[in-house]
Amino acid sequence: MFVIKNEPFLETEADALLIGLFDKPLKFEEVLEPLDQAFSGQLTELVKNGDLSAKEEHTSVIPALGHIPAKRMVTVGLGKEKEADFHAIHRSVQKAAKQSKPYGLESIAIVLDSFITENVTAVEAAEAVTEALFLARFEYTGYRTPGNEPEKQLTTVVVYTEADSDEIQAACKVGKTMAEGTNTAIRLTATPPNMMTASDLALHAEKLAEQYGFELEVLEREDMEKIGMGAFLAVAQGSAEPPKMITLKHNPTDVWEDVLTFVGKGVTFDTGGYSIKPKDGIVGMKTDMGGAAAVLGAMEIIGELQPDQPVMAVIPATDNVISANAFKPDDVITSLSGKTIEVKNTDAEGRLVLADAITYAKQQRAGKIVDVATLTGGVIIALGKDKTGAITNNEPFFEQVLEASHEAGEMIWQLPLTEYDKKRIRTSDVADLNNSPGREGHAIMGGGFIGEFAESTPWVHLDIAGSAELTPGVMTRTLAILALSDQSE
Which backbone phi and psi does 102 adopt, to 5 degrees? Answer: -60, -15
CA–CA distances in Å: residue 446 to residues 296, 349, 353, 405, 424? 23, 10, 12, 22, 11
353 neighbors 449 (Cβ within 8 angstroms): no
pLDDT at 258: 94
What secondary structure, in 3-state letters, does the chain show?
CEEEECCCCCCCCCCEEEEEECCCCCCCCHHHHHHHHHCCCHHHHHHHCCCCCCCCCCEEEEECCCCCCCCEEEEEECCCCCCCCHHHHHHHHHHHHHHHHHHCCCEEEEEHHHHCCCCCCHHHHHHHHHHHHHHHHCCCCCCCCCCCCCCCCCCEEEEECCCCHHHHHHHHHHHHHHHHHHHHHHHHHHCCCCCCCHHHHHHHHHHHHHHHCCEEEEECHHHHHHHCCHHHHHHHCCCCCCCEEEEEEECCCCCCCCEEEEEECEEEEECCCCCCCCHHHHCCHHHHHHHHHHHHHHHHHHHHHCCCCCEEEEEEEEEECCCCCCCCCCCEEECCCCCEEECCCCCCCHHHHHHHHHHHHHHCCEEEEEEEECCCCHHHHHHCCCCEEEEECCHHHHHHHHHHHHHHCCCEEECCCCHHHHHHHCCCCCCCEECCCCCCCHHHHHHHHHHHHHCCCCEEEEECCCHHHHCCCCCHHHHHHHHHCCCCC
pLDDT at 488: 54
95 neighbors 133 (Cβ within 8 angstroms): no
What's the CA gap between 355 and 344, in Å, rounded? Answer: 16
Active-site residue 80, yes or no?
Answer: no
CA–CA distances in Å: residue 4 to residues 107, 164, 165, 215, 438? 13, 9, 6, 35, 58
CATH code for the domain defined by 191-484: 3.40.630.10
| CATH 3.40.630.10 segments of the chain | 191-484
CATH code for the domain defined by 2-179: 3.40.220.10
Which of these is catalytic: 351, 368, 424, 477?
351
pLDDT at 50: 86
Which of these is catalytic: 5, 80, 277, 426?
277
Count of CA atoms in the C-beta half-sphere (13 A) of 483: 33
Active-site residue 424, yes or no?
Answer: no
71 neighbors 17 (Cβ within 8 angstroms): no
* Residue ranges, the chain, pLDDT below 70: 148-150, 487-489
The Cα angle at residue 123 between residues 169 and 91, in degrees rounded to 5 = 105
| CATH 3.40.220.10 segments of the chain | 2-179
